[in-house]
Chains A and B, each alone.
Chain A
Amino acid sequence: MNGVHDMGGMHGMGSIQYEKNEPVFHEPWEARIFALNRAVRAWRIWTADASRHAVELIPAPEYLRMSYYEQRLHSLVELMIKSGLVSRAEVENGKSAPNSLKATPALTADAVPSMLAKGKPTSREVPVAARFKAGQAVRARNINPTGHTRLPRYARGKLGTIHLDHGVYVFPDTNADSLGENPQHLYSVRFSARELWGEQASSRDAVYLDMWDDYLECA
């Protein structure tokens, strides 16, 4: 979706606010919402792509107003309600409703280290042919899907070169929306800064994006 989250190349966002010796979390609630988001991922009810999309669906003015962890609180609640794990009334009252769903096996503390060490790889060992090879000229498709996509606006329609083939990976555009993993080749694609931003950019600089087959066409 053409959301405000897709901010590569935007002006007007201000100067970088650097905090020296920044703590991992600034407030205890940030740590709790971080951990809640990780713990519920152990249920595997929704994908990381769905989780990102839930953040993107926060209305733009709210997205910009909220802090990072406030966005994650909002998106977690919406995903849990959508999945039927909690109701909005339960979240508002802070109490479980009679006869509501309980006891989805919760992640336990002793399972945390192995869960984190394993992660959730999104590469797939399936035989899918690559449409492009390293060195080939490609054009990023000009698509404007209303759902989740990882093809930023600033690259759409631009000419690039395949830098390398990462292999076969889950495709986020379908995986975010329960339409399946649709695994396909993922490439690192090099775009010259001038192709993306015009003559004002340095002739030496480049931006590399990771792009799936479905984002690309022959140049």
Chain B
Amino acid sequence: MYHESWTPKTEFLVHMKADTHDLTQEKERGHGDQTVPSDLTLRVKALESLLAEKGLVDPAALDALIDTYEHKVGPRNGARVVARAWVDPAYKERLLTDATAAISELGYTGEQGEHMMVVANGPKVHNLVVCTLCSCYPWPVLGLPPVWYKSAPYRSRAVIDPRGVLREFGLELAEDVEIHVWDSTAEVRYLVLPERPAGSEKLSEEELAALVTRDAMVGVAKVKLPQAGANL
């Protein structure tokens, strides 16, 4: 694993400086030595050949699955749902009443999003989504989860210390804001409807969608207007 959470590494804020962070990771991952495939590469290759030889899997189906989650399904889907809710009060109401149906109106359905619930942030309520037991995540609207979401530090701490976790993500919430943590213990998948940022009144639905990040829809960030010189 490249982000072994129990290995002390540099602090979170250092990680925000992507370049140095990534270079460190590359070194640890041993990418310098491309001639020797890793043990895992060989084991997975052997397993796939065995299953293909037995007629149990079709490698072309694997390619299609990978292509779907690398290129077609991701947080842009969720961002469209959020932007629609911001500009269309009737849609927002449907989304908060029957999220599965409202999200399927935009064409996002199925695997790991069969049963959806959307929870809305407000001035005095902030929602945060976690799966303490494994890695449940709403794939049709967010794609596959990032490593940190599936890792021990986030899973262990989100329920007991949500304010500390949010602080680590750079989000300090006032004491009078209620935090609701949603632990995905069943097949219901949660999406956070972030607050629409002040000053965004003139933006189109498409422009609004461009502001909505994966992190905001998990609840570890807020949606912000781009600032001059900001690196979004």
Contacts and interface: CB of A to CB of B under 8 A. Distances in A.
Interface string A16-39: 111111101111110111111011
B76 interface: no
Nearest to A69: B40
Contacts, number: 308
B181 A20 contact: no
Interface string A40-70: 1001000010001001000000001011101
Interface string B1-38: 11111111101100110100110010001000000001
Q: Which of A5, A31, A169, A201 has the most CB of B within 10 A?
A: A31
Contact of B6 (A13, A32, A40, A100): A13
A38 B185 contact: no
A195 interface: no
A123 B115 contact: yes
B133 A104 contact: no
Contacts of A55: 134
Interface residues of B, number: 95
B44 A24 contact: no
Interface in A77-134: 77, 85-86, 90-91, 94-96, 100-104, 106-109, 111-113, 115-123
A43 B55 CA distance: 12
B64 A112 contact: yes
Q: Closest 3 A-B residue pairs measured CB to CB? A: A67-B1, A8-B132, A210-B186
Interface of A: 5-22, 24-29, 31-36, 38-40, 43, 48, 52, 55, 64, 66-68, 70, 73, 76-77, 85-86, 90-91, 94-96, 100-104, 106-109, 111-113, 115-123, 150-152, 154, 166, 169-170, 172, 186, 188, 193, 196-197, 201-202, 204-212
Interface of B: 1-9, 11-12, 15-16, 18, 21-22, 25, 29, 38, 40-41, 43-51, 53-58, 60-66, 68-70, 74, 109-115, 117, 130, 132-135, 143-144, 146-148, 150-160, 162-163, 165, 168-169, 175-188
Given A14-B152, A73-B40, 16 more contacts: A7-B132, A9-B156, A13-B5, A16-B154, A32-B62, A34-B69, A36-B51, A39-B57, A39-B58, A107-B58, A119-B109, A119-B112, A150-B133, A154-B159, A196-B159, A209-B183
